[in-house]
Chains A and B, each alone.
Chain A
Amino acid sequence: MTRGDGHDVAGQPGLHVLYVAWGFAPHQGPGVYRPLATVAELVRQGHRVTVLTADLTTFDLVIGGDRSLLDDVPEGVRVVRVAMAPQQRDPLLNRWPAAQIADPKSWAEKAQANQVMAFPEVVYATWQPRAEAAAARIHELDPVDLVIATGNPYVDFTVALRLHVDHGVPFVLDDRDSWLLDVYNGNLSPLSDRILPWLEFALSQALRMWFVNPPIADWHRRRFPQYADRIRVVENGWDTRFLDVSSLPARRDSGSGLVYTYVGTVNSSLPLRLLAEAWRLARARSPLLAGAELRVVGQFGHGGRLMPDQAAIAAEFAQDGLILTGRQPKHQIGQVYADADVLVFVKEGAGMVTSGKVYEYVATGRPIVSVLEPEHDARRVLSGYPRWHDAAEHSPEGLAEAMLAALEDEADGEARHADALRYGASKTREAALRPALQDVLSALAS
């Protein structure tokens, strides 16, 4: 295998890696942490990294961002920002034409219909030509040895394909969700007819394609047996840079009522009512929970707002100690765990869904309560954790019982704390990324 500048890469450190992530920092969605960790790991291993991502205005103005995440971009990493045309998502009325303010929905539909259709992805397809042009320019000025592109959005993958086809640059695709599948129900995505040729071509050319859990990877191996050899599982993990477990006390400093905490996005699929009703039942059954709180910590939906039914639940159960805090900056997540006695894990989906948050949960050593579908892949991560209390049934009653079991664990589980921490220590992002990147380097050298 040769480098972008024509030199042999075998055994040489210090590759120039182009990392493509439309949603890189300061993007504040849950998908930003794996890219940050991958870039950091590449830098730690001595590689030069150039990140290709969307422009700051997109995050500052159009979808919202967290600029504090820019502090987590390692020094020396070059970030090339390519503007994304906001089109129908432009939030500035000053720039809206008269036709748009007259009928925003129709205008948006027309803008959508007129967008570049070459790549099968809604909204983000317009970034394809721009990102490809920027990548070609980067390669021209500073030859790239390896591209790692992460989706979603999957428009990122086209950049890797373009540099590979035009210049022979090897690439890795990191599919953090699933390009082809709806992982929540296992069905093909609505655009699957158009995605399939792209995915098959990408697989045929890729050095590696990463998936986040064995079920998704296995599905792809079965569907594309001819490319099974390049499919790898690179699990998510918890970020040591955001969570210093050594600073977490074995038990929260007492002085107030117990705190049960859910951490994760508060979207429409979160069974908030189930959580709240289970909590009310549990509180009614144990005097130890009098004055206790159930804190729901996480971004509200996509727009930062609660939906009306969620707001109604919050109001209805406020008297039971249900508190919805909204998003906490990632750098303060350690304090959220430090302030919790018991963690509550709820995640929709089944066999193809793991969640990134479950890795963070098992890092804390805290008792974990869960309510999950029987086939849910998060069970695979939780099953080795000694302080896991799973609801016997997917109901308020079942979850309440698990909450009470965790209460006992919280009281007498000190002996299991060290084992729990030990288990969690094996689930860091580095633990997943290091062998994966070593595997890529070995493949490059062979």
Chain B
Amino acid sequence: MTSPAPASSAGEVWFVHLSSTRPQPGTVARVGHATASRHSVLTMVVGEDDSTIRALEVSDLPPGPLTGVALRHIKGATVVLTEMLALAPGPVVLSPGDRIAQQVCWEVVQELEHVVAASSLDGALRVATMLETTGDVEEVLHPPGFSVALSAADGGVGHPATAETLVTVDHGPYPPGTPWLSFQGQALEVRTHGMSRSNARAVTARAGRRRRVVEDEPRRLVIGPANAAGQGGEWARAVRDHAPGWTARNVQVIPPRALLIFGSDLPLITTEWMMPATRLDLAVELFAGATDIVVEAMRPLLAVGDGGQRVNAWHTARGREDIDALRASGRNVALLFHGSEVRRPSVHTRLTPWSPFYREQTATLSADLERTADIVHESFADFDGPVLVSTPDLLDHIPRATWLPGVVGAASFVPAPAAMTRPRLVVAHAPSRSWLKGSEWVDPVLARMEERGLLTYRRLQYLPAIMIPSLLREVDVLIDQVVLGNPGVLAAQAMAAGRLVLAHLPEAVRGRFPEPPPVVETTPETVEQVLLSVIENPEHYRQIAARGVGFARKYHDGRLSARVLTEALS
């Protein structure tokens, strides 16, 4: 037996508070003030048979102690409440008063689409107020997602969001294996088959004409999703600043527990990106209007092959599916690799005697990296479009690739006092992954030299990116890496700041630069010797450091990168 559902008109909100114990008078009073046309304060009571469950209004509760529902009654209570609320002609707001009621409410909303359940009375009161304003359950449950472009446009900054992308949902039938998301020109087709009920509902709520901000350059580039060392964002900015007729944005899918954040045009946290509705928003905001795409590290941008919420944001096969779908839609696609994902350790060991791979303590890590690199190489072996690499050493691993120089932001070029003019040398080493940079050789040497009073050692880890330019201005020498042989972004930043860079760059790598890079060759064997030489001949090394500024400006201020990128896609 249940209490009868109060009659209400379509569109009128029915506010229902549910508890497993007798409600407090204060609670009843608060429910009475909810923004709704109908109010019920129900208590779930179990009969003597321990199975009959009733949901009673306060006035119908028997005096004395109540036999409230327990965990074992959740299913039965759900049936009772679902039957009651199914009859409501308008939206229902459920307000659970305790943990058991919360679980019952959760079960109910799995069944009834016109019911919104909050986790508490406070939340439910807010939902009721919102429903009064919007009148639409879907608007409360599925508000527009995060969009940098729309945030600015709707705030009155820049162009208004006058462009539209048509999103159609489940206009099937579709053959098996059809991607959940596909492009039809600038329109998007979505299939919810295989999605969870809540994800399908969230995606369906986005059907229709979705607003976006128009980018009016003829070529519209999107880079993503890795943004390693912030380079995706920097390349996009470089294209915007230096390539007439082009605009560019990057998207980054940020890993969980990320300790470092880099500038990005559209940053998404992985768990958010995994939601198909978020990926659909991303497709609307960036990809519908794009003409050109640069896919970083073979990672998926939209994962059109997987509409589930457990999609792997690092899955190479998902990345390849996206590439094929984007090319099939008529968009230009280039691939871009940053380092470890394509650097084959077995190849690397033949390139330098200082290779960190397949040493006694790195054998397992090396084998893991080898497997990853093999999978990545295999995934683009038949790709016939442009391939880019961010450092010239990677050409040993992808000979057909083009070097796309890393970009150093304006902050790194802020003039700093000349290096090596203070009484005691300040040397920095800031490895992201110390075993790949040779820190095991650098650290003891530097510690010893500091103990002897020869220099000051600044060992840095997880330094926020925005602090790096000013940190570099405070040091004389940066030891980038002494084993890997790659000229990375940090080295370029140090050069831009006029600091002396020590690193291991094999002759083959040095020869790939149009001019010799002002980087002092340093290996595990020579760290101490080079530093002693710097201390003894500061003027000589000061000149090398000073040459770094011009070198960085020539190759790393974004102009060259914009040219390489746009030429590759042209």
Residues of A within 8 A of B (CB): 50, 55, 57, 60-61, 64, 78-83, 85, 90-96, 101, 104, 111, 113-119, 126, 128-130, 132-134, 136-138, 140-142, 158, 161-162, 165-168, 197-198, 201, 204-205, 303-305, 311
Contact = CB atoms under 8 A, between A and B. Distances in A.
Interface stretch (B176-184, B440-448, B466-474, B537-545): B466-474
A95 B141 contact: yes
21 contacts: A57-B143, A61-B127, A80-B152, A83-B147, A83-B151, A85-B272, A91-B119, A91-B122, A95-B198, A101-B103, A111-B271, A118-B259, A129-B254, A129-B264, A130-B146, A130-B148, A134-B148, A138-B157, A165-B469, A167-B410, A168-B410
B155 A80 contact: yes
Interface of B: 26, 94, 96, 102-103, 105-106, 109, 115-120, 122-123, 126-127, 129-130, 140-141, 143-149, 151-152, 154-158, 198, 240, 252, 254, 256-261, 263-267, 269, 271-272, 409-411, 464, 466-467, 469-470
B155 A79 contact: yes
Contact of A126 (B102, B126, B148, B269): B269
Given A82-B146, A94-B198, A114-B271, A305 B122 contact: yes
A137 B158 contact: yes
B240 to A, nearest CB: 8
Contacts, number: 171
A137 B148 contact: yes
A24 to B, nearest CB: 12
A128 B261 contact: yes
A142 B410 contact: no
B158 A129 contact: no
Nearest to A79: B155
A78 to B, nearest CB: 4
B467 A61 contact: no
A407 B115 CA distance: 55
A106 to B, nearest CB: 14
A80 B147 CA distance: 11
A140 B130 CA distance: 34
A304 B151 contact: no
Scoring B156, B252, B265 by chain A CB atoms within 10 A of each residue's CB, the highest score goes to B156
B251 to A, nearest CB: 10
Given A83-B146, A91-B126, A142-B158, A101 B261 contact: no
Contacts of B151: 80-83, 134, 137
Contacts of B261: 116, 118-119, 128-129, 132
Nearest to B409: A166
B158 A166 contact: no
Nearest to B96: A93
Contacts of A204: 470
A117 B464 CA distance: 11
Contacts of A165: 409, 411, 466, 469-470
Contact of B267 (A57, A60, A129, A311): A129
Contact of A201 (B146, B269, B470): B470
Contacts of B140: 61, 92
B260 A92 contact: no
Contacts of B409: 165-166
Contacts of A132: 261, 263, 267
Nearest to A303: B122
B126 A114 contact: no
B130 A60 contact: yes
A61 B143 CA distance: 11
Scoring B152, B256, B272, B467 by chain A CB atoms within 10 A of each residue's CB, the highest score goes to B152
Contacts of B126: 60-61, 64, 91
A57 B146 CA distance: 12
A162 B117 contact: no
Contact of B156 (A78, A95, A117, A168): A78
B129 A141 contact: no
A412 B325 CA distance: 84
Contacts of A104: 119
B158 A141 contact: yes
